[in-house]
Amino acid sequence: MVDGHDYQEWIGRTVTQEDMVTASPIERLDATLETDHQLYSTGVALPPLAHWLYFLPNERQSTLGPDGHPKRGGFLPPIHDLPRRMWAGSRLTFKSPLRVGMHVKRTSTIESVTSKQGTTGPLVFVTVGHAVHDENGHLLLTDHHDIVYRDVTAPADRARSTAPKGPWHRSIVPDTVMLFRYSALTFNGHRIHYDRTYVFAVEGYPGLIVHGPLIATLLIDLVRRSLPSSVVVKAYSFRAVSPLFDGSELHLNGSPPDETGKILLWATNDRDELIMKAEATI
């Protein structure tokens, strides 16, 4: 319970959005990730996690809060006492790929609201389940998205455990331009990703925060780079362990699939400290 409220009445709330799958967003994401160029003509399948480029928020500028997110109390519960809000992780299943030219619909449902006491203070986890269907009602994917709310006075998380370099490996340095481009691609106004003055003065972080879903996308892109293009990802999950800040080297690691098709993935910073764990199934 936070500020005397457990927000249980928000559980079960739903919202539905519709969109058309176009080629431009995924082509720009490929450019941002330095992925080999592919022609996304009508009917071509999009890679896993491409749905994050669609169903984007369309709140008016006047309805945004001080952090750049929509003001609280709409679809998501108004957890005002814990102003830090971050993407903690997701669990996804892929039934059929999005294809260029599709008309798609996403239904989002608040599945749970859970209060916990963490090492840095009170936490609230909100899980939102997303189901994406095509125009004929066929399920394309599910995405169970965990959002965590924290107190702004709590110290910024520091990675603690370390992890070795994997058989699959790629190193990049996410800079301010990459963060800006990804924010633009996902129409994400959260100021922690581009406003250095806000990050220092209000949220107390030592740098701009690299988007969790960007790191998760880079990890699944490592699978695409390491295996034949014919491989199909059936499931994917990831959990953020600690923030990564701009200018820090990001190490993307993975292991080849085991006999069940499971692939272990992890990301570390320039001190080899773990920042994200993930798992894909092919």
Encode pLDDT of 38-61 as tens digits.
Answer: 789 999 999 999 999 999 988 889
Domain 8-281 CATH assignment equals 3.10.129.10: yes
Per-residue pLDDT tens digits for 257-272: 999 999 999 999 999 9
Average pLDDT of the chain to the nearest whole number: 91
Each residue of 203-212: pLDDT tens digit? 888 999 999 9
pLDDT interval class at 275 (50, 70, 90): very high
Closest C-alpha to 136, from 172, 180, 105: 105
CA-to-CA distance for 240 and 87, rounded, in angstroms?
8
Residue 1 confidence (pLDDT) above 60: no
47-to-132, 162, 206 alpha-carbon distances in Å: 15, 30, 33
Closest to 253 in 3D by CA, of 281, 282, 215, 206: 215
Domain-wise residue ranges, the chain: 8-281
Residue 154 has a pLDDT of 58
Model pLDDT for residues 173-217, shown as the tens digit of each residue: 999 999 999 999 999 999 999 999 999 998 888 999 999 999 999
Q: Under 8 Å CB-to-CB from 186, ≥6 apart: which residues?
A: 52, 53, 56, 211, 213
- How does residue 63 score in pLDDT terms, banded at 50, 70 and 90? confident
Note the maximum CA span of the chain: 53
Handedness of CA 159, 148, 53, 261 (dihedral sign): positive
Rounded CA separation 238/276 (Å): 7
| pTM of the predicted structure, to 2 decimals | 0.92
